[in-house]
Structure 1
Amino acid sequence: MDLLSRDRLREFWSAYKNSRLGVLGLMILIFFIIVAFTAPLLTPYDPIRDKFLAEGSALPAWFKILPQYSGLPETMDFTVPSEVDGDGWRFKVEGPVTLSRPEPLTFTFRDSDGVGASGVAELTHSFDYEYSPPHSFRVNMSLQFLDVNNVTYSAELYILNPESDSFLVWSSGPNRRPLEPQTISLDSKGIPFELKSRMGLEWH
């Protein structure tokens, strides 16, 4: 850089630094440059591969420092533990149904009383959720019905709120064949608006 260029740069900076708006704009630019370079340290997500991590209208997590957003729901994953003897599990069976707890958890129905016998197997898992109702949610689970012979079954998934109100969000319907597919994916966007309203969910 020659002497003339240095003088021009010095004159430009001397005039620029006296502009409050200009200095503020430069500080904002430097801030975002720092964020861009430190992004891999600030977040574990890849900007190309990791998509649909939150709703399009989701607010940043730091909004929770503001009193009016203290109950803001976060994007989170809940994994139901496979160890069914742990806390949060509750089982209930009625009729000729037996429960075995090796992995995977297995309910067995044997109609030993003749035609017309029925049974119910209920599995409940509870967890703490200390936020406002989520904007949306997804549920993924695996469910198998094996050795289905001369019997009709129906599998149903309910969500319970803290007041113990239950909401039916998925059902296989009456079935006499093994369930297909065995992996079930539920997206709250497919739940009717009326049901979401009763559940206290946002209409997303």
Structure 2
Amino acid sequence: MEINQIKERIEQYKAEGKKLFTTSSFQTHSLVLLHILSQIDNTIPVYLINTGYHFPETIAFAEQVCKQFKLPLVDLKSETPKSMQRDTEGRLLFTSDPDYCCFMNKTQPLDVVLRVHDVWINGIRADQSKTRSAMLVEQPAPHGTIRFHPMLNWSKQQIWRYIKEHNLPRHTLDAKGYVSIGCEPCTRKPDPGMQEREARWYGLKKTECGLHTDLVSR
């Protein structure tokens, strides 16, 4: 979508009395959506799904960005303490069942947020994965919520062109060779030739955390 179209859609949602929120992974490429939203309506809350396993650099970057863009940052955490996130052998779930770890720390907490909002503004792009390429700009989510994907048809080139044009800040791990940054235990630097998200959950048959598979109404 063009920026003016994003603005029109958001204004339409607000005119209809809908309650909006957005989420962000606070990677450098995620900042384009946040910057656009800050120019349209800087009262829309930005949820950081804080799993407790993020790189410290990501937490610091989230605080820096929201302060700079004057956006309200909401720290969203699982209600299940880490001491209870272990398998029968006492291992933390990210080592033995990363799908369930993602469910407890990302999908389940956000499901609670969906219950009290009408529109989830989400920055996924079709060129990031096969799962995301099948998504629509507007798609139903659980609890009658709408998923709104304004960046869906933006290319990687468009994203980086916008970042350069507006001199947006960069995540400090970019300079260390990371291209897709999630939880620290499940993120590695990519090998040459890897796609953007292939260094996440490396060696596992897993490409999504559940936010874009479980929290979609088919």
Interval of TM-score (by shorter of Structure 1 and Structure 2): under 0.3
Q: TM-score, normalised by structure 1?
A: 0.23
Q: Relative to total residues, which structure has the larger helix share, 1 or 2?
A: 2
Higher strand proportion, which one?
1
TM value normalised by structure 2 = 0.22
Larger radius of gyration: 1
Larger relative CO (CA 8 A, sep 6+): 1 or 2?
A: 2
